[in-house]
Amino acid sequence: MLEAFDFVIFGGAGDLALRKLIPGLYRAHREGSLAAGSRIIPTCRNTQMVAEYKDKVRDAAEKHLNSDEFDAAAWDAFSKCLFPVFVDIGTKDEHWDALAQLLNSGGNSQRVFYLSTPPSVFSICCKHLHETGLITATSRVVVEKPLGYDAKTAEEINSQIAEYFSEDAIFRIDHYLGKETVQNLLALRFANGMFEHLWDAKSIDHVQISISETVGLEGRASFYDGAGALRDMVQNHILQLLCLVAMESPNKMTADRIRAEKLKVLESLRPLNGNTVKYNTVRGQYVAGEMGGKAVPGYLDELGQASNTETFVAIRAYIDNSRWANVPFYLRTGKRMKQRFAEIVIQYKDVAHRVYPESAGMATPNRLIIRLQPEESIKIIMVSKDLEKHETHLRPVVLNLNFADTYKDFYSDAYKRLMLDAAAGDASLFIHRAEVDAAWAWIDPIIEAWQRPENKPHGYMAGSWGPQASAQLMASDRRRWFSIDEVLSGADQEW
Ligand code: BG6
């Protein structure tokens, strides 16, 4: 059990706090993970917000928690841990002193400062924390993406925070690392001998990592248009997933060892630049289409102005080390896609020699499918004899491990997990500064090459699987984006 801590959320009434942070802390409280005496201290921008805070977060929690999770009595008990305060982050005035008094009066030595704010105020917030004497030896700061716009701006942000906090007290969140199946990927690889022996270029044909979203701009136009899918999803979430798939085994499951192995993967990514960007990447932008039977506007209509920002990206990447020599990693993400899902597909090589005649049916390669959402599952596609037929006929079948069946009534919540880890000082699932730098070092030249006129985004209909060029990227390697229905029906063998 964690010892009691103080958890200060700057931007405590913001969207992230209301949708994810407070509900996550409520879950932690409900499952008994908040020691008695722990305090959650959300900061608000004025006194009226402070007065209304508890009602507001209660309404938000009812909306964002699953219906069977919200319990009025449990909420009332949790709400006693909430101490909203008025702090203007940019102005060092008596409200900062009041915050200091509150923190110093509680007797909790563990402190977390969660900066749920735009990065533009990280520096001033850290400075004021320092000047108020709030940064103790057992204080940590948690920061959210976007950590910069490119390598240079990321470096600036990281340097500003580093003026006040040492690297081991800086917790850079990537909420994908808090998803249970993502952590399970490490268990799958490093606690199951059978997979780790089949985890390299000798056995694996290629890897696909897809995060497909149905949402569009969601009222985040100004942020999103300045970022685009590559910065918003690939630089962080997708590259982190790639690291976990590709990294070598750390000799211990400690933050330092895990992060050192991930860093080696990022540093081994084959650089893409100039002409190789055109051949290995696809940019897309959605145009008006249909989602779930309803017409939806295109990106530019939602935005209300011209833009070349991509809402879809597909990349063929390589990791230049001996484990992964010439194994393509196909990365893909997009908004306003046909379905919401995130999954990693490891496709194995075909059998070396086909002993069955063609008349026995198709030979389908094995795939290991790690599904992160909407459901969390691990599936293996195997080939089996069709039991319903007398003659030998082969067909693909699915071995399915659905976590919802094994762990009933379990809601995984990435933010809850990561907030508790930050409170415990465990940085294993947080990103080291060197990883941020290495990720940008790979991304920046792609963005630069995209400035060329021939690399404008391709249009794709909202509600589709992205631009045609994305299917062509795979087809040029005689491969397809994975679809379980296609594989089971044999359509993946058609050309
Ligand atoms: C965020 C991106 O980091 O991740 C959003 O900024 C995206 O654009 C979101 O929608 C996706 O997260 P999840 O957990 O819903 O897949």
339-348: pLDDT as tens digits: 999 999 999 9
Q: How far is the CA of 286 from the centre of ligand 1 (A)?
A: 17
Atom of ligand 1 nearest to the CA of 179: 14
Q: Which of 45-49, 179-183, 343-347, 400-404 has the lowest mean pLDDT?
A: 400-404
Q: How far is the CA of 9 from the centre of ligand 1 (A)?
A: 20
Superfamily of domain 177-411+432-493: Dihydrodipicolinate Reductase; domain 2 (3.30.360.10)
Give me the DSSP letters along 244-304: HHHPPPPSS-SHHHHHHHHHHHHHHBPP--HHHHHHHEEEEEEESEEETTEEE--HHHHHT
pLDDT at 310 over 90: yes
Q: Which of 237, 353, 393, 458 is catalytic?
A: 237
Q: Which of 246-250, 359-363, 465-469 has the lowest mean pLDDT?
A: 359-363
Query: Under DSSP, is residue 69 helix (H, G, I), strand (E, B) or coil?
Result: coil
CB 348 within 8 A of CB 198: yes
459-492: pLDDT as tens digits: 999 999 999 999 999 999 999 999 988 888 887 7
pLDDT at 366 over 60: yes
Whole-number pLDDT of residue 248: 97
Whole-number pLDDT of residue 212: 98
pLDDT averaged over the chain? 94
Alpha-carbon span 118 to 23, nearest angstrom? 21
Residue with structure tokens 């801590």? Answer: 5
pTM assigned to the model: 0.95
For 167-182, what is the mean pLDDT? 95
Going by pLDDT thresholds of 50, 70 and 90, the confidence category of residue 360 is confident
Q: To test the ligand 1 pocket, which listed residue (213, 218, 302, 311) has its Cβ within 8 A of the most ligand atoms?
A: 213
- Alpha carbon nearest to ligand 1 atom 13, residue: 176
pLDDT at 398 over 90: yes
72-108: pLDDT as tens digits: 999 999 999 999 999 999 999 999 999 999 999 988 9
Whole-number pLDDT of residue 403: 72
Residue with structure tokens 């992230």? Answer: 16
How many of the other CB atoms lie within 10 Å of CB of 387?
8
**Which residue did the predictor score with more confidence, 110 or 387?**
110
How many of the other CB atoms lie within 10 Å of CB of 167?
12
Whole-number pLDDT of residue 409: 65
Q: Is 232 annotated as a binding residue?
A: yes
CB 11 within 8 A of CB 17: yes
For 196-207, what is the mean pLDDT? 95
In percent, how much of the chain has pLDDT > 70? 99
CB 106 within 8 A of CB 97: no
119 backbone dihedrals φ, ψ, rounded to 5°: -60, -20
Whole-number pLDDT of residue 371: 93
Using DSSP bridges, classify how beta strands 394-402 and 377-385 pair: parallel, antiparallel or unpaired. Answer: antiparallel
Is 237 a residue of the active site?
A: yes
pLDDT at 495 over 70: no
Atom of ligand 1 nearest to the CA of 174: 3
- Alpha carbon nearest to ligand 1 atom 9, residue: 233
54-69: pLDDT as tens digits: 999 999 999 999 888 9
Going by pLDDT thresholds of 50, 70 and 90, the confidence category of residue 50 is very high
Going by pLDDT thresholds of 50, 70 and 90, the confidence category of residue 354 is confident
Q: Is 437 annotated as a binding residue?
A: no
Q: Is 477 annotated as a binding residue?
A: no
Q: How far is the CA of 413 from the centre of ligand 1 (A)?
A: 14
- Residues with Cβ within 8 Å of 312's Cβ and at least 6 positions away in sequence, in order, are 229, 282, 283, 284, 285, 286, 332, 333, 334, 335, 337, 457, 460, 466, 467, 470
Q: Is 92 annotated as a binding residue?
A: no
Going by pLDDT thresholds of 50, 70 and 90, the confidence category of residue 408 is low
Ligand 1 binding pocket, CB closer than 6 Å: 175, 213, 215, 232, 342
Going by pLDDT thresholds of 50, 70 and 90, the confidence category of residue 177 is very high
Domain spans of the chain?
Answer: 5-144, 177-411+432-493
CB 439 within 8 A of CB 266: yes
CATH code of the domain occupying 5-144? 3.40.50.720
Q: Is 88 annotated as a binding residue?
A: yes
Q: How far is the CA of 215 from the centre of ligand 1 (A)?
A: 10
**Per residue in 448-458, is it b (16+ CB within 10 Å) or e — as a string?**
ebbeeeebebb
